[in-house]
Structure formats: structure tokens, C-alpha cells
Structure 1
Amino acid sequence: MGCGYCARARRLLDGKGVDYNEFDITMGGPEREEMTSRAPNARTVPQIFIGDKHVGGSDDLMALEREGKLDAMLQG
């Protein structure tokens, strides 16, 4: 909540009609533990996964879009 990077990633994915799951990990919990096990060096939010692949953060997602690679990843 209130995360500009999270909002930017949501806008991009929403604009593409992508279904996604979003987890608020600010207070810890099992989702945070899962994220840190899947992306151990990640310390910021959002951390974006497409399928089993860790994309990175919002800037990484936007870079994939600029490079024309995001749509192919989303299609699997």
C-alpha cells in the first residue's frame, strides 16, 4: 500500500490484462519467507515472478517491456 513501484508494476500488468497474485509482505509472514527463499538477494518490493522465473523489481519489469520481451514471457 502506498508503494509507487508496486503501483507502476500493477498498471503495466493490468494494462496487458494479466491475472496475477499480489502479496503484502511488509509485516512478514509465509509469503515473505517464500519470496526470500525464491529470491534470496531481493530486499525491496515489489519482487515479480512470472511462472517460476524471478524477474526482479518494477524497474526490471519495465525494462523487459521496453526491450519487447515481456509479452513473450507472459505467454509462457
Structure 2
Amino acid sequence: MTTPHIRIYTSEACSFCVRAKNLLTRKGVDYEEVHLSRSDFQARQDLVQLTGRYTVPQILIDDTPVGGYDDIKALDDAGRLDAMLGVA
């Protein structure tokens, strides 16, 4: 099984970003963090184009948007996240 590329878009003072990164760390996976400044309107527009969402965190697995913290937590609770992360 190949290891997927995981990218997480975050911003400062974002508790959900911290939770998402902690969950990924607990899963033992490496991820690329892309920090977006709250005042960078263009970066937020680019995020909407990429993920369909304006808020952070936004997590992509192999360039496929999977959502934010609540979304990956729900996937984990349902027993589906490990396979997506390649840790099953």
C-alpha cells in the first residue's frame, strides 16, 4: 500500500486545526501543513476553489478534499479513516 499525501490547511489561533493535526499525529502519519493568514483573501479564495470551503482546517488526502476536523473525526469514529490514511 502506498502512503497517501496528506495536506492540511490551517491558520493561527484555530483550535480545530490543532485538533485535526493532533488526530493525524496520533495516527502516525506525516502531513504537509499549509498555513493561511487570516488576512490573505486570495489564499482563502484559492482554498474555496480547491475544497469548496472557506474555513480551516481543510484536509486533503491525495489531493481529494475530505473536509475539516469534524469530518475526519467522524470518519475515524466510523472506522474509515485508517484505510484512507494508509494505516489500516
For the superposition of Structure 1 and Structure 2, which TM-score range results when normalised by the shorter chain? 0.7 to 0.9
Structure 2 gap segments, 5+ residues each:
1-11
Identity, in percent, stands at 44
Matches within 5 A, 1:1-76: 1-26=12-37, 27-28=39-40, 32=44, 34-39=46-51, 41-75=52-86
Structure 1 or 2: more helix by fraction: 1
Query: What TM-score do you get using the length of structure 1 for normalisation?
Result: 0.83
Task: Count matched residues.
Answer: 75
4+ runs of 1 displaced by more than 6 Å? none
Structure 1 or 2: more strand by fraction: 2
Query: What TM-score do you get using the length of structure 2 for normalisation?
Result: 0.73
What root-mean-square deviation, in Å, do the aligned CA atoms of Structure 1 and Structure 2 show?
A: 2.1
Structure 1 gap segments, 5+ residues each:
none
Higher relative contact order (CA 8 A, sep 6+): 2
Deviations 1:15-64 (A, max 9, x none): 1111001111124387645422211x301100110112110111001000
Distance 2:54 2:46 in 1: 13
